[in-house]
Amino acid sequence: MTEKKTVKMNPKDLAFFEALLIDRRRELVSAQSEGERANVFHSQKDQGGELPGYSNHLADAASDYTSLETNFDLAAREGKYLVYLEEAIQRVKKGTFGICKICENLIPKSRLEAVPTATKCVDCKEETKRKEREENRIEMARLFAEQQRREQKLK
């Protein structure tokens, strides 16, 4: 058997996941624009409020800064998820959705239902994580050795 196996998810499942992914994307996009509306409302309310004392003003600025940061983190995370969703939708269109990019076997439907943006089966994901940990360990050891060499020179 030399011919390359062509694994493909059946069209019915592809259609199911396409609908699921588009649904998720729509939810995410509408959640984001709701968040923006809430922010606009918040700043309008602030402008029309009582004159704040100096210390109050500082406290407000600090909490604004924190919430701004939190919003930013959230937006970045959601933005990334949106990219993953887009990519998954593209994979559905190409017919490569649900195929593990490492071992090229079909990813179990139950996993895809839980994580529709998954690009690897559980085994390959674990294997990738294990390799990353191994690489991190090697990198840590290298940095540690480098630092020790620097300390030796200083002596």
Binding site for Zn ion (CB under 5 A): 100, 102-103, 121, 124
Query: Within 13 Å, how many C-alpha atoms sit on residue 59's CB side?
Result: 5
- CA distance linking residue 121 with residue 106, whole number of Å: 8
Q: Shortest approach of Zn ion to residue 113 CB, angstroms? A: 17
Q: How far is the CB of 115 from Zn ion (least distance, A)?
A: 14
The 3-state DSSP composition of the chain as helix, strand, coil percent (nearest 5) reads 75, 0, 25
Residue with smaller CB distance to Zn ion, 57 or 129: 129
C-beta closer to Zn ion: residue 103 or 115: 103
What minimum distance in Å lies between the beta carbon of 93 and Zn ion?
Answer: 22
Give the CA radius of gyration of the chain: 24
In the complex with Zn ion, the residue whose CB is nearer, 20 or 103, is 103
